[in-house]
Amino acid sequence: MHRGAGVARSSWSLRADARPAARGFAPASRRDHSACSARPQTRDAGLGRSPLVARLVANRTQGLGTVDSLYPRSVKLGIEVPRYLGKAAKGACPGFGKREGLMRRADRRPVAGAQGRRGPSRRGLLRITFSWLLWLGFAALGAVAGLWAAATARFLFPNALKEPPQRFKVGFPADYPPAHVESRFKDEHGVWVVHGTYRGQAQIYALSSVCTHLGCITIWQEEQKRFKCPCHGSAFYMDGINYEGPAPRPLERYAIRIADDGQLEVDKSRTYQEELGQWHDPDSYVPT
């Protein structure tokens, strides 16, 4: 009789505890005090479950939740942990509400390093995008302003290339021995000053160093006594007549005369072409 009454009372307490838990509230204070005072003194040592563990299993089947998954250490030690704990439950079991509050706060504590793994928020992305667009706009504006300033400066201050004078002196006639080609004025003025012969007459004349084919600069080959175009192979005698390669006509002459001081003066503003019969002009040579 006593045993049956204990079983009936135990089943009644399980049903009574299940009703408030299903509504999300803690069990009544009186029942929790009785549960706290009725904590078992024995633990499951592998021979069988204690009555408390059996009660936890029964509560889980009645919808109170998986207590052993939430608090495995408490279940292992045989401590009764209600699934739904509120303000009433903290005062219902003396000394247990504080521990439950600490455990719940620990569960809500952010995991270390979680903030570092977090991506930027939408507002942060918008701020970064706006900053980049702003910088790009300033860069484009600066580039346009620079181009405008360069164009204005080019318009106001056009390029003034320093060109060598069209007239220049090349020394005295005695400085040029017969059959001599002077190359000192080639790089700066583009002129060969030659003391040679043309149709049996000894002359000092100024030949252009530009090939009549495609405008390459000729070179003087002393051993062959000829002017040679390094680009396409045209060749010219010492007097400037073409005889080899694609050059269509002889080299051009510049005007030359004896200045008031007795020096030879070349004038590049006037040219003379042999195919036009202009080499017979007395201004195209200085007789010797």
Cα 85 to Cα 14, 24, 90, 91, 197: the distances in Å are: 16, 8, 7, 10, 125
Position 156 scores a pLDDT of 72
Residues 96 and 178 in one domain: no
pLDDT above 90 for 85: no
Average pLDDT over residues 9-31: 43
Given a cut of 60, is residue 286 above it in pLDDT?
yes
Measured between alpha carbons, how far is residue 118 from residues 112, 114, 191 in Å?
A: 12, 6, 78
Percentage of the chain modeled with pLDDT above 90:
42
Rounded distance between C-alpha atoms, residue 83 and residue 103, angstroms: 13
User: 105 pLDDT band (50/70/90 cuts)?
Assistant: low
Same domain, 103 and 191: no
- Domain boundary among the residues 59, 82, 108 is at 108
pLDDT tens for each residue of 216-271: 999 999 999 999 999 999 999 999 999 999 999 999 999 999 999 999 999 999 99
Judge whether 196 lies within some domain: yes
Q: Mean pLDDT over residues 40-52, rounded? A: 47
- In the predicted model, is pLDDT for residue 46 greater than 50? no
What are 121-167's pLDDT values in tens digits? 777 788 888 888 888 888 998 898 888 888 887 777 665 556 778 99
Q: Is 171 exposed, middle or buried (0-12, 13-18, 19+ CB in 10 A)?
A: middle
Is 214 part of a structural domain of the chain? yes
- 147 lies in some domain: no
We report the CATH number of the domain holding residue 178 as 2.102.10.10
Q: Are residues 102 and 174 in the same domain?
A: no
Task: State residue 56's pLDDT score.
Answer: 56
Residue 90 has pLDDT above 90, yes or no: no
Amino acid (1-letter code) at residue 231: C
Q: What is the mean pLDDT of the chain?
A: 73
pLDDT, residue 107, reads: 53
pLDDT confidence of 53, banded at 50, 70, 90? low
In a domain, 92, yes or no: yes
Domain boundary among 108, 127, 149: 108
Is there a domain that residue 57 lies in? yes
Q: Is 163 helix (H, G, I), strand (E, B) or coil?
A: coil
Task: Give the pLDDT score at 267.
Answer: 95
Classify 177 as helix, strand or coil. Answer: coil
Q: Which residue has the higher pLDDT, 213 or 3?
A: 213
Same-domain status, 176 and 243: yes
Boundary-marking domain end, from 90, 108, 126: 108
Q: Is 210 exposed, middle or buried (0-12, 13-18, 19+ CB in 10 A)?
A: middle
In the prediction, which pLDDT does 232 show?
92
pLDDT value for 161: 53
| Residue 185 pLDDT | 93
Q: Output the pLDDT for position 121.
A: 77
Give residue 74's domain range: 2-108
Mean pLDDT of all residues in 2-25: 43
Task: Specify the pLDDT at position 133.
Answer: 87
Q: Is residue 156, in this structure, part of any structural domain at all?
A: no
Largest CA distance in the chain: 160
Q: What is the pLDDT of residue 131?
A: 86
- Residue closest to 250 by CA, chosen among 233, 235, 264: 235
Residue 129 lies in a domain: no
Ramachandran area for residue 59 (φ above 0: left; ψ -120 to 50: alpha; else beta):
alpha
Res 153: pLDDT: 75
Confidence band, pLDDT 50/70/90 cuts, at residue 27: very low
Structural domain total, the chain: 2
Structural domain contains residue 6: yes
